[in-house]
């Protein structure tokens, strides 16, 4: 018999925790993703002027991808201490490690000023950002999920994912404002620095906000009862929870495709199809807004009807909506409405972390989720921008084919998760709050 699900309403302190965690996550994710909205500009500034445009795009996305490749190390280290010394401490550290490199990016000299050293410094700062974000996303999902009952876990993760998407939206809006108010010469001369300097300020603001948060009841209970992981938490994860790691990695691959392709890379792809920069960024903002709303809706539905069922449904939506949107853009009939519909399919990011973290016991939950999420994101998130950019040179429909394959993966995972649901519920139920 599995543990009964608690669907009681969220309390005011729980809602405050969700709000503060989501806002802090939004400001940190802005720092991580704003780079991609200026990919074309960064390519022009940090690589030789005589380099072919397609090669600049590939190399710029390569630097962007380096942040993903750095995620596992940062995530594993932070998760280790998060399981042994507290979730909140790592929640604070990750944002400090993000704010400083972002601020320094805005102060970097360009290729014209210092030559090849410019892209090298940019790459190093991007790696530091990746290490920070490696602890942020899984740490945030664990943090909010342990502040609510299991029956509200999908909604809590959906609210946090909404916050992370809000950071992407903020980046899109800042990019839109900068591009709308500066001409190309001003943008290349100094305007590109504005979003990164703002990011450093945003990071420090997020650090201040997170000081108001409290340690999770689940970790406090583990600590009080001396049930923290003995030895290396990651060793226990790899030895005892291999199936949960594999499922978590496959789920992360799906999440990566939905976010990286639909939201982060699409403005650049659209511009290569002849869509104006302004239209591409406006459509991207609408798509992110749709994704934010869909996260709350999908999370609430998943708590009500089962995460597997809703994941399968949203995966079908992902395939159908992306197909309609991309085909129309290729035909020269780009539509804001279809882009927003494709964005709403990104609502599947509500269920994915909730399902993945449910496979690990509380004592190693942070390490388990962080390892599965960051290793998969490093591979999929790191390779997708570069490989798709290369593939599009010979096959302009490469992103569409990739997303249809990912939708099929999501459908299969949703069915499997729903079949395993009773066991998942039992394994994922956290300890009762202390006291």
Residue range 204-213, pLDDT digits in tens? 887 887 777 7
Q: Please report, for the domain that includes residue 93, its CATH number.
A: 1.20.1250.20
- CA distances 99 to 84, 128, 184, 199, 203, Å, are 25, 10, 27, 7, 5
pLDDT value at 364 more than 70: yes
**Is 433 contained in some domain?**
no
User: Six-digit token pair at 281?
Assistant: 């960024």
Q: Is residue 434 part of a domain?
A: no
Is there a domain that residue 1 lies in?
no
Total-model pTM: 0.80
Give the residue-averaged pLDDT of 16-39. 79
Helix, strand, or coil here: 412?
helix
- Residue 2 domain-assigned (yes or no): no
So what's the pLDDT on residue 422?
Answer: 54
Tokens 């949203």 found at: 314
Residue 252: per-residue pLDDT: 93
344 is a domain residue: yes
Residue 426: pLDDT over 90: no
Indicate whether 430 pLDDT > 90: no
Determine the pLDDT at residue 320.
96
Question: Number of folded domains in the chain?
Answer: 1
Mean pLDDT, the chain, whole residue set: 83
Higher pLDDT, 176 or 323: 323
Interval 240-281: pLDDT, tens? 888 999 999 999 999 999 998 998 889 888 988 889 888 888
pLDDT higher at 234 or 231? 234
Confidence check: pLDDT of 18 > 50: yes
pLDDT for res 229 = 64
Full residue range of the structural domain in which residue 371 is found: 12-428
Percent of the chain whose pLDDT exceeds 70: 91
pLDDT at residue 237 tops 50: yes
**What's the half-sphere exposure (Cβ side, CA atoms, 13 Å) at 332?**
0
Q: Is pLDDT of 411 > 90?
A: yes
Sign of CA dihedral 247, 245, 64, 20: positive
Instruction: pLDDT band for 215, please (50, 70, 90 cuts).
Output: confident
What are the residues whose beta carbons fall under 8 Å from the beta carbon of 71, sequence distance 6 or more? 130, 131, 133, 134, 374, 377, 378, 381
Q: Classify the C-alpha dihedral 309-311-312-316 as positive or negative.
A: positive
Q: Is the pLDDT of residue 1 over 50?
A: no
In a domain, 408, yes or no: yes
Mean of pLDDT values over 87-93? 75
Tell me whether residue 63 is in a domain: yes
Distance from chain centroid for Cα 7: 27
According to the model, what pLDDT value does residue 2 have?
A: 43
Q: Is 428 a residue whose pLDDT tops 70?
A: no
What is d(CA 47, CA 42) in angstroms, rounded to the nearest whole number?
Answer: 8
Report which of residues 102 and 323 the model is more confident about. 323
Asked if residue 6 is part of any domain, the answer here is: no
Q: Determine the 3-state secondary structure of 140 from DSSP.
A: helix
Arithmetic mean of pLDDT, 405-414:
95
User: pLDDT value at position 344?
Assistant: 95
């Amino acid at each position: 018999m599995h543990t009964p699900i608690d669907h009681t309403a969220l309390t005011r302190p729980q809602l405050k925790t969700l709000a503060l965690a989501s806002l802090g996550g939004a400001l940190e994710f802005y720092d991580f993703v704003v780079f991609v909205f200026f990919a074309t500009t960064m390519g022009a500034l940090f690589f030789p002027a005589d380099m072919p445009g397609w090669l600049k795009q590939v190399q710029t996305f390569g630097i962007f991808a380096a942040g993903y490749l750095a995620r596992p190390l940062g995530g594993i280290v932070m998760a280790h201490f998060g399981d042994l010394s507290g979730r909140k401490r790592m929640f604070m550290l990750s944002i400090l490690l993000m704010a400083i490199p972002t601020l320094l990016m805005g102060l970097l000299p360009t290729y014209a000023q210092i030559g090849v050293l410019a892209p090298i410094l940019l790459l190093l700062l991007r790696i530091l950002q990746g290490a920070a974000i490696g602890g942020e996303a899984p740490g945030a999902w664990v943090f909010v999920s342990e502040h609510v009952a299991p029956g509200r876990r999908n909604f809590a993760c959906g609210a946090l994912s909404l916050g992370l998407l809000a950071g992407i939206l903020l980046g899109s809006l800042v990019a839109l404002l900068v591009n709308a108010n500066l001409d190309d010469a001003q943008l290349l001369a100094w305007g590109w620095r504005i979003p990164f300097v703002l990011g450093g300020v945003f990071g420090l603001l997020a650090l201040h906000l997170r000081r108001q948060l409290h340690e999770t009841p689940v970790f406090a209970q583990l600590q009080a009862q001396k049930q923290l992981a003995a030895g290396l938490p990651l060793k226990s994860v790899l030895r005892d929870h291999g199936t949960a790691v594999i499922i978590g990695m496959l789920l992360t691959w799906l999440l990566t495709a939905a976010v990286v392709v639909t939201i982060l890379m699409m403005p650049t792809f659209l511009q290569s199809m002849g869509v104006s920069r302004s239209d591409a960024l406006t459509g991207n903002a609408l798509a992110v807004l749709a994704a934010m709303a869909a996260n709350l809706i999908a999370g609430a539905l998943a708590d009500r009807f089962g995460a597997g069922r809703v994941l399968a449904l949203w995966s079908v939506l992902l395939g159908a909506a992306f197909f309609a949107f991309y085909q129309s853009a290729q035909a020269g009939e780009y539509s804001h409405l279809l882009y927003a519909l494709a964005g709403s399919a990104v609502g599947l990011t509500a269920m994915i972390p909730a399902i993945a973290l449910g496979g690990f016991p509380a004592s190693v939950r942070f390490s388990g989720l962080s390892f599965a999420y960051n290793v998969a994101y490093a591979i999929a998130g790191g390779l997708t921008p570069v490989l798709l950019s290369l593939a599009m040179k010979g096959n302009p429909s490469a992103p569409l084919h990739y997303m249809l394959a990912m939708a099929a993966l999501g459908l299969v995972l949703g069915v499997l998760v729903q079949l395993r649901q009773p066991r998942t519920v039992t394994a994922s139920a956290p300890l009762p709050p202390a006291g």
